Amino acid sequence: MISNKPLVSVIMATYNEKPNIIKSSIQSILDQSYSNFELLIFDDSTNVETKSAIDDMSKDSRVCVYRESTRVGFVESLNKGLKKAQGDFIARMDGDDFALRERLEKEVSFLLTHKNIMVVGGQMDIMDEHDNIVSHRNYPERGIKLWLFSCYRNPLAHPTVMMRSKIVDRGYLYNEKLKMSEDLDFWLRLMNDGYKIANLPDTVLRFRVQSDFINKRVNEKQRMYMSKVRKMNFRTKHPVHGVLSVVAGWIFTHISAESIKTMYKKENKNV
């Protein structure tokens, strides 16, 4: 049990999620065992039912909903959230996922006891459109295994992360020029600048995938953005990581879509 409970700002960017799904996602935050949080929802939805569902959930005093007259965009919404966050820690959450009840408590506890870690993520279950858990995804916790993993994969599951707000105070934001892989870019920049990241061994989230999930993952645009981000973050002061990362990005853009589909199917069984 955490005696001194710092404020956590949970950032959620939403766009036309199904009403029942967005309600479930928000409720999973409201039901957290760790209660000292604010939930900042940046809603870009055009769907009236989605807006109404979010408004219903915003009756809880810990929920703040922000809307603009024109669509803002996902990455831009995340940055608005980082700037408005009042907490000592900032957590990410997507509008179609489900946070396990002790997620925030476990992440806060970890950051309080590991002062050298700037961002922590966790393991996650994979669930389908009908809330059935169909697979599980593992991420290395720390050290050389996570370092090597980051050379060819995203080292953190974006909707599981919690970061220290001092990162934002030091000028770190998502790159709004990127429409994909903005999270990978964020982590690589932090790592290049000497900041430590980690993953909890615990499962903290249920990540929802749609029927076209794998096709989206292997589309050419997605792969090109990932390769671009790895090239952008090459640093001569970290040549080994940089070379491995760029080579991995090149390979990922040049192997067949079917090969990548096979890899994802092995990682996400039954999806």
Q: What is the pLDDT of residues 58-98, one digit of tens each?
A: 999 999 999 999 999 999 999 999 999 999 999 999 999 99
pLDDT at 226 exceeding the cut of 80: no
* Pairwise CA distance, residues 231 & 217, whole Å: 19
Angle at 11 between CA 6 and CA 17, to 5 degrees: 145
**Taking the model in full, what pTM does it have?**
0.88
Q: Are strands 117-127 and 162-164 parallel, antiparallel or unpaired?
A: antiparallel
pLDDT band, residue 229 (cuts 50/70/90): confident
Per-domain residue ranges for the chain? Answer: 8-267
Give me the pLDDT at residue 215, please: 47
pLDDT band, residue 26 (cuts 50/70/90): very high
pLDDT band, residue 239 (cuts 50/70/90): confident
Give me the pLDDT at residue 72, please: 92
Token reading at 221:
């645009």
What digits encode the pLDDT tens for the residues 172-207? 999 999 988 899 999 999 999 999 999 999 999 999
pLDDT band, residue 236 (cuts 50/70/90): low
Average pLDDT over residues 235-240: 67
Give me the pLDDT at residue 39, please: 98
Give me the pLDDT at residue 101, please: 98
Looking at 3.40.50.300, 3.40.50.2300, 3.90.550.10, 3.40.190.10, the CATH number of the domain 8-267 comes to 3.90.550.10
**What residues form DSSP beta bridges with 38?**
9
Secondary structure (3-state) at 267: helix
Average pLDDT over residues 11-33: 97
Give me the pLDDT at residue 90, please: 99
Mean pLDDT of the chain: 88
Position with higher pLDDT, 266 vs 35: 35
* Pairwise CA distance, residues 168 & 171, whole Å: 5
- Out of 28-42, 131-145, 177-191, 219-233, least confident range: 219-233
Instruction: Note the maximum CA span of the chain.
Output: 52
pLDDT band, residue 222 (cuts 50/70/90): confident
pLDDT at 28 exceeding the cut of 90: yes
What digits encode the pLDDT tens for the residues 144-167? 999 989 888 899 999 999 999 999
Q: Are strands 8-14 and 37-43 parallel, antiparallel or unpaired?
A: parallel
pLDDT at 271 exceeding the cut of 60: no
Q: What share of the chain is helix, strand, coil (3-state, %, to 5)?
A: 45, 20, 35
* Pairwise CA distance, residues 187 & 89, whole Å: 16
